[in-house]
Amino acid sequence: MSSPLQKALVFKFLSRCLAYPNQAFIPTLVEVSEQIETGKEERQALIRAFEFEEQEPLQGEYTRLFLNGYPHTVCPPYESIYLEKRMHGDAAVAVQKAYSEWEVSVDPGLIDHLSTELEFLAFLASAESLDNEVSTDAKKAAEQFIKRHICRWAPQFTEDLKEGAKMGCYRMLGEMMKEVLGRYCPEK
């Protein structure tokens, strides 16, 4: 990623890919994707894969993967669930603390949702582009957040997504997330 703003847009794109696939889903992905300078072919392929699916089955797959699959949810996108096997755990409290340090407020039910964490990284990357004291603080905060939060659970989430998805679009998303987050999270 060539600049902090481009990094912010990539995080924002990935965050948007985790949104519920309603009528605004594809137009939002296209809008964000068009602003990113690199990786255009991969993003376009992912968007085409999402477009290929009919909306109702896509929504069903989203629900099965992320909300309430039977007999278990394949990859619930919450840090607390991955680290503590419960909602609103200590991880959510720590994530909320990181948000509060930057005066960011988040819906209580989405504090440690991966989409929200990616949005926070997009916010920090945007702040990093300011080229002043705030930018230095934002860069440090992003590095700490990635190490303390994202790298502790998102690699397993992306593996679960790739393995558990029945639709190619979500497997592709898992691959893309693994590739992008792998730049920040060394493999163990």
Residue-wise pLDDT tens digits, 139-181: 999 999 999 999 999 999 999 999 999 999 999 999 999 999 9
pLDDT at position 188: 60
Q: 29: domain range? A: 4-182
Residue 78 β-bridge partners: 113
CB atoms < 10 A from the CB of 119, how many?
21
94 inside domain: yes
Return the amino acid letter for 173: L
155 inside domain: yes
187 inside domain: no
**Reported pTM:** 0.96
Residue at token pair 């602003």? 35
58 inside domain: yes
188 inside domain: no
DSSP notation for 48-103: HHHHHS-HHHHHHHHIIIIII-SSS-S---BHHHHHHSSTT-HHHHHHHHHHHHTT
Read off the CATH number of the domain in which 128 is found: 1.10.3480.10
Give the pLDDT confidence of 90-122 residue by residue, as tens digits: 999 999 999 999 999 999 999 999 999 999 999
Give the pLDDT confidence of 48-91 residue by residue, as tens digits: 999 999 999 999 999 999 999 777 899 999 999 999 999 999 99
| Overall number of domains in the chain | 1
125 inside domain: yes
Q: Report, in this order, helix, strand and coil percent for the chain, each rounded to 5.
A: 70, 0, 30
